[in-house]
Amino acid sequence: MYCASSYEREGKQNTSWRRQRHSEGAQTLIPDAYQFREPERFTVGTVGEPGERTFFIQIRKGSRLVSLSLEKSQVQALAQRLEMMVREIRQSDPTLIIEKLPRDEAPLESPIEEEFRIGVIGLAFDSQSDLIQIDLQAVAENQGSEGSFIEIEAQESQTEEVRVLITPSEAARFSLRAQVVVAAGRAPCPFCGGPIDPRGHLCPRANGYRR
């Protein structure tokens, strides 16, 4: 197992990757009910109007459907990191076939019932199975609202956790959709760069007048 990690601290993103070999069996134990190996769907979407959207990651395999909420910044960062992982995997193993899958443009599936809110996201690539492992941990009581990315380590999580194993092809499709979902929010003001609500906004470049 190779583990790729990146950290987000106080709003600053470190986009460097560090790989570490873990010994066999050195994995956090996750109940079967919270593991999804190559699910039929791994996607992201929103509920609500621009400016008041709630972001959800949704995983479906068979009759199981799990919806996890998270911050917009986490969606954006996860998309960037998965895109980077896929690029690194392709460069390190040119023989590995990474297909371009059809775009997933379908809405989130109902019912959308929040299992928990994501606080920490762990990423790793298993070179034996050629699958990307994504660990989604619930927000801890002492954790801030922004969340972070961590190295997947051999230790028990103290919070609820969902583990997803997907192909690099699926990761690339998720990344593309996530970027589209993030960009579909409020348009930026061409004068101040701030988000524009449907009713307009108070632009500081216009001396407080609503644009």
Average pLDDT over residues 133-141: 91
Instruction: Evaluate if residue 146 carries a pLDDT over 70.
Output: no
Read off the tokens for 72.
């917009």
- Cα–Cα distances in Å, from 189 out to 32, 54, 69? 47, 22, 27
Give the residue carrying structure tokens 């709630």.
54
Provide the mean pLDDT of the chain: 78
Instruction: Evaluate if residue 161 carries a pLDDT over 60.
Output: yes
Contact between residue 211 and residue 196 where contact means Cβ atoms under 8 Å apart: yes
Give the pLDDT confidence score for residue 199 in this predicted structure.
Answer: 61
Instruction: Evaluate if residue 118 carries a pLDDT over 90.
Output: yes
Residue-range domain boundaries for the chain: 2-186
Give the pLDDT confidence score for residue 22 in this predicted structure.
Answer: 37
Instruction: Evaluate if residue 19 carries a pLDDT over 90.
Output: no
- Which residues 6+ apart lie within 8 Å of 190 measured at CB? none
Give the pLDDT confidence score for residue 16 in this predicted structure.
Answer: 33
